[in-house]
Amino acid sequence: MEGIQGGLLSSDSLLWSGSGLVGKSGTGWGAFQQLYDVADRSVRSATAENLAPDYSETRNALGGVSQGNNTSLTAFDLGYVSNSTQLNDLTIHNPTDIDWYQFSTPEGIQESGSTVRISSTNEVLLNVSIYDSDKELITQREALDNAFNLASSSEYYLRVATVAGRQDIGYSIDVDLTAESPEVALVIPDIAEGRGSNDLLSKASEIGFSATSEASLANLGLSLTEDDQDWFKIDSGRISEQSPNLFSVIVTDESISDEDDIIIEIADASGTVLTESKGIGRNETVILEGYDSDVFVNVRSATGKTLDYKLDLRNADYDFDKDGSVTSDSDGAAIVAALFADSSSIEIATNLSSDADSQATAEDFFADYRATLLDVDGDGVTLASTDGVILNAYIAGASAVDLLPYISDSSPIQTADDLLTHLLDLA
């Protein structure tokens, strides 16, 4: 037989002897043969599922446009980390993707009980390295779950990559800090305050918003120190979808009381308050739409208590079934039904549509909005008998005055104008 032939031979070395056989070593075919011998073909192809780039690839922690975080020079800066620092929905989205992060630890933490944990969310090994402030390697690990001890008052660089050539790896980063003394609370400046503070409108931290990267802001760990207040500047987009209309604060301290209520005010450049929140509890939301100039968001505690929180900005609507319109008999009815304890959003979505994506859409809607947009009476609890009824009637055309009798007994809302600060405009 003439010509060139290729064969996948056994790795038994005896079969590789003989004239004319090439590729045992040092050639491309030999390298392919060796990879074929050891390959685990039970593992999916690297192209089986292509995850999208996560927000750290295009945005910094404050939502501004970035050049990605594939090098230590462009590392995603987390600022000072705290117990509320938790980043989800991170990805290694192609075989050459490498994610770098930079962060600092506060003074007064205990090294034996303070860690940063990087965990795979889809059972694929991660190659994780941690470096000191001079970018000298401290240690490296390859595992599904990688935890590193952290020292007090230190700066670190973190590198996350794949060990399997995969491009569909999901992972999360979580920080757990323990104070050296249980009697002393850790006081940690958040990244929005930078090297100074943002406790005045004139020193407001600029927040970039993109509807496609809104999750980056929800991952941003922020804090109010004693008697502190935080100001943020939001640029208005050229069209409404480029601007947030839903401004939410989620307090990460589960022990917060109604007296420790967090307050949101939205003001214009002169400091004139345009609207303010009227809710209570751990989740505070205020709605502002149709603004055509920059706005300033002020976050503070009613009692001056130290609180950790997350700022969640979104461009939201009530289009539950994502069909391009909002109606009472579909979206409103579905929201009411799904809020009842004996009805899941999956069941409701299945009844709404035969679309295979409707279940996932319903789950996403409630994950995003149950504690914020859907708590229309601001009492800190989302219920079908109050919030669901109010929202369905509002979508059907009822006025805010008509809806006041349906708010809960614990709602802080007293007027129709108060209620409108929790309701989106209907086109």
Record the tokens describing residue 401, joined without a space: 């005055």
- Is there a shared CATH topology between the 55-176 domain and the 191-314 domain? yes
Beta strands in 9-136 (DSSP E): 76-80, 86-92, 99-104, 115-120, 126-131
Question: How far is C-alpha 103 from the chain's CA centre?
Answer: 18
| pTM greater than 0.85 (yes/no) | no
Whether the CB-CB separation of 294 and 252 falls below 8 Å is answered with: no
Domain residue extents for the chain: 55-176, 191-314, 328-420
For residue 156 the two structure tokens come to 């670190």
CATH of domain 55-176: 2.60.120.380
pLDDT tens per residue, range 335-374: 887 777 544 444 554 555 445 455 556 777 887 888 899 9
pLDDT value at residue 343: 47
Question: Which residue ranges in the chain fall short of pLDDT 50?
Answer: 1, 11-27, 32, 35-36, 38-48, 342-346, 349, 353-354, 356
Whole-number pLDDT of residue 331: 84
Residues linked to residue 223 through DSSP beta bridges, in sequence order:
308
One-letter amino acid for residue 291 of the chain: Y
SS3 248: strand
Biggest CA–CA distance in the chain, Å, is: 93
Return d(Cα 121, Cα 146) in angstroms, integer.
12
What does the pLDDT look like over 263-299, one tens digit per residue? 899 999 999 999 988 888 788 899 999 888 899 999 9
Q: Please name the fold of domain 191-314.
A: Jelly Rolls (2.60.120)
Q: Which tokens hold the place of 67?
A: 């050049």
pLDDT in tens, 376-415: 999 888 888 899 999 999 999 999 999 999 999 999 999 9
Length of the chain: 427
Beta pairing, strands 205-207 & 229-234: parallel
Enter the tokens of residue 37.
């011998």
In this structure, what are the phi and psi dihedrals at residue 411, rounded to the nearest 5 degrees? -70, 140
Q: What angle, 0 to 180 degrees and rounded to 10, lies between the N-to-C axes of helices 358-369 and 345-352?
A: 130
Rounded Cα distance, 94 and 30, in Å = 26
